[in-house]
């Protein structure tokens, strides 16, 4: 109807001067039509609507596309339909008197229910509330302060989901009254007062140092136990080896004594043992003599390695000369 009215008015503005013979007014009429047409055109973008007011009263809603309005008589107001982010910061006091800060992000949008009447969501979103963000901020602040005071500062960190759900339920009901719809609420961060956070960090740091010290002590203990077990096993093996060696030496002496006695039955065991000891001593002296820069000092023994019975027969050692 508006398009037809505008078309007739524009055509009449040119035909009237032509019919009256005022041809010189025709260019002015064309310029007037162009100005009126430019003021009448309204192009609505996607995810946007325009509300038309005729003489300051609600008339209709223009949806995405090309539209014409009556200049001066009609004006338009814009309303976006896409989702919008609204960050909110709330400060509250916990039950143990610690200041807590909670950061949220509210995602909301106008609920386009395709109802162009005054009961529709678009009409209510423009004429029922001036600033929806102020309403959301006050609602969130009231709800969060009431919930924060029921938790301790340690509990508040584990209540993110509970806080978000409680606010979402309350805010969804409020927004629907004004033609808006809540998409979601995101609890972005929860922090405490800086002094409390610093103290908590120190507690955690101390606990970590304690755990590290305990782990280090446990590792040292395990290493010491392992070293002691290894030393014990090595000594056992050493003594077993020495015992085996002595056993073999004893067996060798026994076999040697038996062989000598078989060769000469007049020899008793003492003489045979003395013979073997003398042979071993002589062999040792020979091995020492084969080593370079070796020295041999006899203490209380004669050249045959036997103990002297008198002072005169004893070889003098270095200590005796002193």
Q: Are residues 162 and 257 in the same domain?
A: no
Q: Are residues 273 and 302 in the same domain?
A: no
pLDDT digit string, tens, across residues 176-213: 999 999 998 988 888 887 666 666 656 666 776 677 77
The predicted structure's pLDDT at residue 304 = 47
Residue 130: how many CB atoms within 10 A of its CB? 8
- 72 pLDDT tier (thresholds 50, 70, 90): confident
Q: Are residues 186 and 94 in the same domain?
A: yes
The residue out of 31, 56, 79 marking a domain boundary is 79
Q: Report whether pLDDT(15) > 50.
A: yes
Question: Is 203 contained in some domain?
Answer: no
The predicted structure's pLDDT at residue 189 = 85
- 270 pLDDT tier (thresholds 50, 70, 90): low
Q: Are residues 110 and 166 in the same domain?
A: yes
Q: Are residues 247 and 301 in the same domain?
A: no
Q: Are residues 110 and 43 in the same domain?
A: no
The predicted structure's pLDDT at residue 13 = 65
CATH number for 137:
3.30.479.30
Question: Is 246 contained in some domain?
Answer: yes
Q: Are residues 70 and 88 in the same domain?
A: no
- 226 pLDDT tier (thresholds 50, 70, 90): confident
pLDDT digit string, tens, across residues 98-116: 888 889 999 999 988 888 8
Q: In this predicted model, which residue has the larger pLDDT, 81 or 271?
A: 81
Range of the domain at 131: 84-192
Domains in the chain, number: 4
Average pLDDT, the chain: 77
Question: Is 262 contained in some domain?
Answer: yes
Q: Report whether pLDDT(306) > 60.
A: no
Question: Is 302 contained in some domain?
Answer: yes
- List the one residue out of 68, 33, 78, 72 whose CA is nearest residue 54: 72
Q: Are residues 65 and 89 in the same domain?
A: no
pLDDT digit string, tens, across residues 109-152: 998 888 888 889 999 999 998 889 999 999 888 888 888 888 88
- 303 pLDDT tier (thresholds 50, 70, 90): very low
Q: Are residues 71 and 90 in the same domain?
A: no
The residue out of 20, 50, 79 marking a domain boundary is 79
Question: Is 206 contained in some domain?
Answer: no
Angle made by CA atoms 179, 181, 184, in degrees to the nearest 5:
160
The pTM assigned to this predicted structure is 0.56
pLDDT digit string, tens, across residues 234-252: 778 777 777 777 677 777 7
Q: Report whether pLDDT(315) > 60.
A: no
Q: Are residues 273 and 299 in the same domain?
A: no
Question: Is 103 contained in some domain?
Answer: yes
Q: Are residues 181 and 220 in the same domain?
A: no
Instruction: Give residues with Cβ within 8 angstroms of 212, minimum separation 6.
Output: none
Question: Is 205 contained in some domain?
Answer: no
Q: Are residues 43 and 102 in the same domain?
A: no
Question: Is 199 contained in some domain?
Answer: no
The residue out of 79, 102, 120 marking a domain boundary is 79
Q: Are 51 and 79 in contact (CB under 8 A)?
A: yes
Q: What percent of the chain has pLDDT over 90?
A: 19
């Amino acid at each position: 109807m508006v398009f037809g009215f505008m078309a007739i008015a524009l055509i009449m503005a040119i035909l009237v001067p032509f019919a009256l013979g005022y041809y010189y007014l025709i260019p002015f009429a064309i310029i007037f039509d162009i100005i009126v047409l430019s003021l009448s055109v309204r192009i609505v973008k996607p995810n946007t609507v325009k509300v038309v007011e005729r003489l300051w009263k609600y008339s209709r809603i223009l949806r995405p596309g090309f539209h014409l309005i009556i200049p001066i008589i009609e004006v338009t107001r814009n309303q976006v339909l896409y989702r919008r982010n609204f960050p909110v910061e709330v400060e509250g006091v916990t039950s143990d008197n610690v200041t807590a800060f909670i950061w949220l992000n509210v995602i909301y949008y106008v609920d386009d229910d395709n109802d162009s009447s005054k009961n529709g969501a678009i009409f209510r979103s423009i004429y029922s509330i001036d600033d929806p963000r102020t309403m959301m901020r006050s609602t969130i602040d009231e709800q969060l302060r009431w919930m924060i005071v029921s938790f301790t500062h340690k509990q508040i960190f584990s209540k993110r989901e509970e806080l978000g759900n409680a606010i979402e339920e309350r805010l969804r009901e409020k927004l629907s009254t004004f033609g808006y719809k809540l998409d979601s609420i995101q609890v972005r961060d929860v922090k405490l007062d800086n002094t409390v956070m610093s103290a908590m960090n120190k507690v955690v740091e101390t606990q970590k140092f304690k755990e590290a010290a305990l782990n280090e002590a446990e590792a040292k203990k395990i290493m010491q136990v392992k070293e002691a077990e290894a030393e014990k096993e090595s000594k056992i093996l050493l003594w077993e080896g020495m015992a085996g060696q002595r056993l073999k030496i004893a067996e060798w002496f026994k076999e040697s004594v038996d062989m000598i006695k078989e060769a000469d039955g007049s020899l008793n065991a003492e003489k045979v043992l003395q013979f073997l000891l003398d042979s071993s001593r002589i062999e040792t002296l020979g091995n020492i003599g084969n080593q370079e820069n070796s020295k041999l000092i006899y203490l209380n023994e004669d050249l045959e390695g036997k103990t002297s019975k008198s002072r005169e027969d004893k070889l003098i050692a270095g200590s005796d000369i002193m």
